[in-house]
Amino acid sequence: MTGVFQQSFDQVVEECREVAGLGLSAVILFGLPETKDPKGTSSLLANGVVQRAVEAIKKANLNLLVLTDVCLCEYTDHGHCGVIENGEIVNDATLEILAEQALSHARAGADIVAPSDMMDGRVAAIRKKLDANGFAEVAILSYAAKYCSAFYGPFREAAQSAPQFGDRRSYQMDPANVREALKEVALDLEEGADIVMVKPAVAYLDVIRAVRERFDVPVGAYNVSGEYTMVKAAAQKGWLNEKRTVLEILTSIQRAGADIILTYHAKDAAKWLKA
Ligand SMILES: [Zn+2]
């Protein structure tokens, strides 16, 4: 992905220092483990890749919230977001692993954990696990409305997390469905989510708006990799003015009702808005 890089531990701290200096308020970490297995067990290690990065960033004492992606797809050899039995994703066996993963992130110092897997009941499982272990103050940002989207392609390449067979249709939502998004958001809030996220953002502005109007909680929107690379590619060809296009897109996401925007354009936008 143009302009997006995997980072080592010392690089990630320097990157975060720059990010904080630009006035951005938060970062989210996605892990690229050394080993993958069917159950994604490398995601639970206290000295795992995300856990160590969180510790390093927190130790640097930057004015930054640290969020962590909670999911299995980066850690499983099959690339799915859950455990597999007989060729199917098993929801309940996945929940315990996700909850343990979230707890290990909290122990490392994460401020907010962000489950992105879309398994049923994962917010409740994570909340219960965090509370039982003294991490009631760690917040949950749930990917409540995550659509099965073609726009995730570039991220999966970058994070080496493309499913090795099948697709994620059994646990991600149908792009044509808005009401299901509202149902998923309501369920996640009942289970204890503090912030709900809609993903992707640009092709789903109406969903962001619908969530904003129905629920009185912070709404996040994930301006995903495909949305980002389309702009980047067109700008590189001289077909679009990158700065104007990006700021217009981010404005439209905010106008739709997002309080929080997760975007690969963040550093550029912060620089442009500062200038
Ligand atoms: Zn996943």
pLDDT value at position 185? 96
CA 145 – ligand 1 centroid, Å: 13
Question: Each residue of 26-48: pLDDT tens digit?
Answer: 999 999 998 999 999 999 999 99
Do 40 and 99 form a contact (C-beta atoms < 8 A)? no
Helix (H) or strand (E) holding 235: helix 225-236
Q: How confident is the model at residue 268 (pLDDT cuts 50, 70, 90)?
A: very high
Tokens of 273: 């808005």
For residues 18 and 160, what is the distance between their CA atoms, to the nearest angstrom? 26
pLDDT value at position 50? 96
Three-point CA angle 92, 152, 195, nearest 5°: 60
pTM of the model: 0.94
Looking from the CA of 254 toward its CB, the CA atoms found within 13 Å total 9
CA 116 – ligand 1 centroid, Å: 6
The catalytic residue among 59, 146, 243, 271 is 146
267 catalytic per annotation? no
pLDDT value at position 169? 73
Helix (H) or strand (E) holding 126: helix 122-132
146 catalytic per annotation? yes
Q: How many CB atoms lie within 10 A of CB 272?
A: 15
Do 113 and 70 form a contact (C-beta atoms < 8 A)? yes
Tokens of 138: 């760690």
The catalytic residue among 199, 232, 243, 267 is 199
Q: Give the end-to-end CA distance of the chain in Å, rounded to a whole number.
A: 26
Q: How confident is the model at residue 182 (pLDDT cuts 50, 70, 90)?
A: very high
